[in-house]
Structure 1
Amino acid sequence: MKILGIIAEYNPFHNGHKYQIEKAKEISAADYIIVIMSGNYVQRGAPAVFDKKTRAEMALNAGVDAVFEMPSFFSCASAPDFADFGISLLQILGADYISFGAENNDYKLLNDVADILLYGDLESNIKKYISSGLNYAKARHNAIIKELKGNNTEQIESILASPNNILAIEYLKNIKLKNFDIEPVIISRCGSGYHEKEIEENKFSSATAIRKLMAVRGYRKETDFTQNIIKAVPKENIDLLKKNKPVFEDDFLFTLQRNILDKLKRGENLTEYCDMSEELANTVEKNIYELKSRSYTDFILNLKSKNFTYTRISRALFHILLNHKKQDLKKIKSGENISAYPLLLGFKKESSELLSELKRRSKMPIISKISNAKDILSEKSLKIFENNIYADFLYNSIYFEKYGESLINPYRSNVVIL
């Protein structure tokens, strides 16, 4: 049996995702597809537009055989930690392949960049660029280009500018670093770009464009589905999109602001939280007392400077909200491997043979009942798990505040079986 793994957010699941699944299965000749999917929070520092059970069901509807959860500690993390957890979990489960999308499927060049990150003399060059006035991200970017001298600079610039490519490089880097026996299957992106904000004719639309349309008041009208969203998602998921209600960053704004104010009142140092530098912490503290907007985007833009991207700020704020501390992350990452664990979100009945094989291959017991987690997990893994339960309760409370309806209690949540 050949098992192919995908690390994804499916925020929400769209036709481009279905294309990747079908293409990867064709190239690899894999028998089954498993997905490590972000839970209720995603990497750009935001709530997932639909809860994790709904998104798992969407994936199962459209060709995935089993879905496992990436907890918020890593689903909200920067690319290296996001990739580290995902790759480690695929290795634990015994996947033969990993498929990921890239704007440029030049395997050699992506592999060269991964080698530079592992073995290149980046730090000295990064320091030089920082001393010349560049922020860390730009300094690192320039250091990588300098190490790859002799290559097509324009092509390298393009690779380093794409979130999909950055993750692709981190996946390759992790496989090399840990000497994992997982074969990459790279699928070149088709259709709209990652950041494209409009639904485009005859192209696979981006998740960004779909979320933007969903955020428009009244998007649930049948005409909107017929003319727009219905073109961007698999037909199997149209009913799920109509039935379920979305959550956006704006819904979290005041809870986030109150949380920060409460932490400051208690004398907490915001730099204790992941992705929060001293400069950014000072900027947040300076602005948190002068609330000027009901828009999450405007709130972030008030904090933005040349040293911090929008995503970096948003990710840092959600780390504060979800209590993701640097010292905890350091403990979790200590030792040879990150403390990944296989929490099953959903599977297909017809793929029961896969589940039996995964149980045989897996280096850890597969968690299908939340109540069993404490008896299975190590102290470090349990820390991640319990933090994720807290994050899920928070997501559920925001959903209830918005709609007056309850999502499933995280402690009573069952595996989705189709």
Structure 2
Amino acid sequence: MQAVGMIAEFNPLHNGHVHALAEARRRANADVVVVAMSGNFVQRGEPAILDKWARAKAALQCGADLVVELPVFDAVQAAPQFATGGVAIMQALGVSSLAFGTEAADVDYARAAERLQSAKFDASGFQDFTQTYATQLNQQYREATGLDLSQPNLLLGMSYAQANLQLQAGLKLLAIPRVGVDHDAQHVASQFASASHLRELITSGQPVNEWMPEASVTSLSSPHYDWSQLFPLLKYRLLTASLSELEQISGMSEGLQYRLSQQIKGQQSFDDFMTAIKSKRYTYARLRRLCLNVVLNLTQAQVDAAQQHRFLHVLGFTQAGQAYLHQVKKSVGLPLIVKPTADQLTPKGLMAVQQQADNLITFLGAPDQNYGRVPYRF
């Protein structure tokens, strides 16, 4: 059996995702579609609107055959680290090709990644405090490849190509043109709407049936999550944790712990706090990820260690997906977890960081996200 992979969030799953899943299968002539899906927290630095189980179930009903969790220590990261985590999962599962949506499907991503590797630039050396890291990174990308990577999916596509090269994963890259609207568009086009716009509609109680498949609409009966629920916890953490404790948080750098501790005083909403700490140096996404790590109490040491011990947590599969798992199980390159055990969820267990993060969702009222949970089967 041949497998094509996709790295996704499905936050929430909409008609554009259904199109991408079908197109990936068609273009790869694949027997199964394997998805590495972000768990309960996503790259933009916030909880997914629905928990990982609700989103995985919808994905399996809408074109995916095997859904594996992209753990929090890879999911809540900038594009290069996010891509590395996803590609590592595909490599471990023996997937032969990787499909991704992009604003520029005609780019030779593999060739561009080779040019970037040859350029040997060092992103850690960006010292222009009047521009964000992302802006400076894009400038160097443009110099090395001639491409403007300011569009989010174009940057992700390039990050996948770089990870594929660095990990020597050997994945064939399949760039799928985005359909409908742009990544964060606040309008709709025919049957398509961006995930960010759909989240706003869902939060405000407006109908979304026109832009989401039935299975995904049905999943909306599950509890919803957003920063309004997390902000009181963030405020408590920033007002009570010492500066030395905050300094250890993943993504904390350049004295940001001082800025966060000072600006949180008197803030009444997460949006107002974001406005207060925003600067030319940092994007909103970077700051949201940092704040999320503060709430989750994820230290850089924990994240670094976890990324050295990745695993495959299966959330669900179809009959074809189960058959593919059976085919590759003897050669899978990472520990395969189908039903998490108590030992795996302890502070020293393989899923310790994931469990630490998922405890927050259960604190907000969700059922246990890991212990004893078995994959969905379709």
TM-score (norm 2): 0.92
Percent of aligned pairs with the same amino acid: 27
Matched AA of 1:105: A
Q: Report how far residue 174 of structure 1 moved.
A: 1.1
Alignment root-mean-square deviation, CA: 2.4
Match of residue 99 from structure 2: 99
Matched AA of 2:185: E
Asked if the contact 1:197/1:208 (under 8 Å) is kept, the reply is: yes
Task: Give CA-to-partner distance per residue, 1:356-399, whole Å, 9 cap, x none.
Answer: 11323412442111117639x9x7xx45x11111211111212x
Match of residue 250 from structure 2: 274
Question: CA 1:409/1:185 → structure 2, altered by over 3 Å: closer, same or farther?
Answer: closer
Matched AA of 2:41: Y
Match of residue 144 from structure 2: 147
Q: Return 5+ residue gaps in structure 2 as ranges.
A: none
Output aligned runs, 1:68-107, within 5 Å: 68-107=68-107
Match of residue 283 from structure 2: 309
Match of residue 357 from structure 1: 327
| 3-state SS of 1:36 partner | strand
Matched AA of 2:214: K
Output aligned runs, 1:168-207, within 5 Å: 168-198=157-187, 200-207=188-195
Distance 2:298 2:129 in 1: 32
Question: CA 1:239/1:142 → structure 2, altered by over 3 Å: closer, same or farther?
Answer: closer
Output aligned runs, 1:290-369, within 5 Å: 290-293=265-268, 295-333=269-307, 338-349=308-319, 351-369=321-339
Q: Report how far residue 96 of structure 1 moved.
A: 1.1
Asked if the contact 2:3/2:97 (under 8 Å) is kept, the reply is: yes
Match of residue 414 from structure 1: 374
Q: Report how far residue 303 of structure 1 moved.
A: 0.8
Asked if the contact 1:113/1:144 (under 8 Å) is kept, the reply is: no
Distance 1:310 1:364 in 2: 33
Match of residue 390 from structure 1: 356
Distance 1:306 1:53 in 2: 37
Asked if the contact 1:68/1:345 (under 8 Å) is kept, the reply is: yes
Match of residue 150 from structure 2: 161
In terms of fraction of residues, the more helix-rich structure is 1
Asked if the contact 1:102/1:164 (under 8 Å) is kept, the reply is: yes
Asked if the contact 2:180/2:189 (under 8 Å) is kept, the reply is: no
Match of residue 116 from structure 2: 117
Q: Report how far residue 133 of structure 1 moved.
A: 5.0
Q: How many residues align?
A: 377
Output aligned runs, 1:253-292, within 5 Å: 253-264=231-242, 267-288=243-264, 290-292=265-267
Distance 1:346 1:181 in 2: 25
TM-score (norm 1): 0.84
Distance 2:5 2:130 in 1: 41
| 3-state SS of 1:360 partner | coil
Match of residue 230 from structure 2: 252
Distance 2:306 2:225 in 1: 29
Match of residue 239 from structure 1: 218
| 3-state SS of 2:241 partner | helix
| 3-state SS of 2:225 partner | coil
| 3-state SS of 2:116 partner | helix
Question: CA 1:261/1:292 → structure 2, altered by over 3 Å: closer, same or farther?
Answer: closer
The list of structure 1 runs, each at least 4 consecutive aligned residues, that deviate by more than 6 angstroms after superposition, is none
Does 16-25 or 343-352 show the bigger shift? Answer: 343-352
Question: CA 1:181/1:138 → structure 2, altered by over 3 Å: closer, same or farther?
Answer: closer
